[in-house]
Amino acid sequence: MKKTTTKQIVMNAACRLFFLKGYHGTSVRDIAGQANVNVSLINYHFKSKQGLLETLIVDYYELYLERIEQNMKETKDCHPLDQICRLIDDILHYKQEHHQLTCLIQRELSMDNQFVREMLVTYLSKENHLLYSLFKKVVSKKVADSRESKFLFLQLKGMLQAPYAMPNDWKDFVTFDQSHHYFATHYSRTVQRWVTMMADQPLINLLSKPS
């Protein structure tokens, strides 16, 4: 079994404290105490508390996007509907496996600062490009070529983000470690059913009516 490095122990401690107490409510000394290390070691690895937060988020998104790309590569010969359903399941399991960090990131993305703007330009724009390119293959061509496809895509993104943007509203669904997998599996089925309805286009006549 791979031994957890001191750097990773610090990152795990920071993630837990940022989630529980908030970024501004957590000090470097708090993190050092939780990780049982010297403050100087944190400064050595991360330079500052902000550097530690940025490392957590960058590592999260690097692995997240790598997982999306790998999933799309493995399912490239599948029907687009099957492909996006498998991807939804993989995304939600990843988010749930990193539940505290996912919630923390959603909280940080609500802030307007330079780091968030950089995230939007790099990781989030790539995520949107990958997901939207696949989503457009699922809806009908008539909808895919209209603004409705973007509205529907925003709804999909909202469903993928909701449990982590509003964790207190969802806390009763995850009460112990094993229930993380249970929640991701069953919630992904709900999102998959929504996508399937969009693929069947039950709203096509309504969407195409002139206002």
The verdict on 128 and 182 lying in the same domain is yes
pLDDT band at 146 (very low <50, low <70, confident <90, very high): confident
Instruction: Tell me what the mean pLDDT of segment 108-128 comes to.
Output: 83
Lowest mean pLDDT: which of 57-71, 145-159, 195-209? 195-209
The verdict on 201 and 118 lying in the same domain is yes
Lowest mean pLDDT: which of 69-78, 114-123, 137-146? 137-146
- Stated as kind and residue range, the H or E segment containing 196 is helix 177-200
**Alpha-carbon dihedral 53, 54, 58, 64, rounded to 10 degrees:** 30
Host domain of residue 82: 50-208
The verdict on 108 and 177 lying in the same domain is yes
The verdict on 61 and 75 lying in the same domain is yes
Radius of gyration (Cα) for the chain, nearest Å? 19
The verdict on 154 and 59 lying in the same domain is yes
pLDDT tens per residue across span 163-197: 999 888 887 777 666 688 899 999 999 999 999 98
Look at residues 47, 36, 40, 39 and name the one whose alpha carbon lies nearest to residue 6.
36
The verdict on 42 and 54 lying in the same domain is no
The verdict on 18 and 57 lying in the same domain is no
**8 Å CB contact between 29 and 38:** no
Q: Enter the pTM of the model.
A: 0.87
pLDDT tens per residue across span 123-133: 989 999 999 99
Spatial separation of the C-alpha atoms in residues 92 and 201, rounded to whole Å: 24
The verdict on 29 and 133 lying in the same domain is no
